[in-house]
Chain A
């Protein structure tokens, strides 16, 4: 079955700097890669997603890249702000309506 590995498990960056979180997946048939943000006491919230027919997607300060050959995908947050502090999960799936396999999460802290 699909396995998703995520690194790093914790990340601390200075406010205004960039943060990068990396994931790898095992099943080459996976074609949907969402990223979720989870704040304390809340459920995960989708922040951006990418499909296998696209190499990069950007939404304001957030961007995701996908390398299908290497089975890598990454989340990039630029100009980080205090409200970016949360746990981020990458995930992989056949499609958004099927079983979604999550990574182990990255706790991002933004230092003032």
Chain B
């Protein structure tokens, strides 16, 4: 079974620029999550999708972050404009349904300079 795919693996941008991350969850997984993991900390949930609907985006800084899940499959997370404190690893995860294991991708490491 193929895992959660994320791209790019690494990205370096200047502050105030924009950036987008892409995630392809495991086939058939209805729930998709985006997490932000700052160095030395645990992952923090940014947004959760159930199919193509948003379940929880309470921790998403909506003035600069946006996310969508196209046709309930792939998802993109965008930051515009980026700030220095956005430097982190952005993790995508998915699971089949309630009470099943969540699988994580390898993440995208973003450095804002």
Judging by beta carbons under 8 Å apart, are A95 and B99 in contact? yes
In the assembly, what is the distance between CA of A36 and CA of B42, in Å?
10
Tally the A-B contacts, defined by beta carbons under 8 Å: 61
CB of B21 closer than 8 Å to a CB of A:
no
In the assembly, what is the distance between CA of A82 and CA of B78, in Å?
38
CB of B102 closer than 8 Å to a CB of A:
yes
Q: Which of B67-75, B80-88, B90-98 contacts A (4 or more CB under 8 A)?
A: B90-98
A1, closest chain B residue (CB): B58
Which residues of A are found within 8 Å of B40, using beta-carbon distances? Answer: 104-105
Q: Which of A37-45, A57-65, A73-81 contacts B (4 or more CB under 8 A)?
A: A37-45
Judging by beta carbons under 8 Å apart, are B91 and A43 in contact? yes
| Contact residue among B44, B95, B101 (Cβ-Cβ distance under 8 Å from A102) | B44
A9, closest chain B residue (CB): B40
Interface residues in A, total, Cβ within 8 A:
25
Interface residues in B, total, Cβ within 8 A:
26
Which residues of A are found within 8 Å of B105, using beta-carbon distances? Answer: 43
CB of A97 closer than 8 Å to a CB of B:
yes
Q: Given A89-B42, A99-B45, do A45 and B104 touch, yes or no (CB 8 Å)? A: yes
Which residues of B are found within 8 Å of A98, using beta-carbon distances? Answer: 48, 55-56
For window 79-99 of A, CB contacts with B under 8 Å fall at 89, 91, 95-99
A46, closest chain B residue (CB): B101
- 12 inter-chain pairs at a CB distance below 8 angstroms, sorted by A residue, are A4-B42, A42-B107, A43-B4, A43-B105, A95-B99, A96-B102, A99-B48, A102-B42, A102-B44, A104-B41, A105-B40, A105-B42
Residues in A lying within 8 Å of B, measured CB to CB: 4, 6, 32, 34, 36, 41-46, 49, 89, 91, 95-105
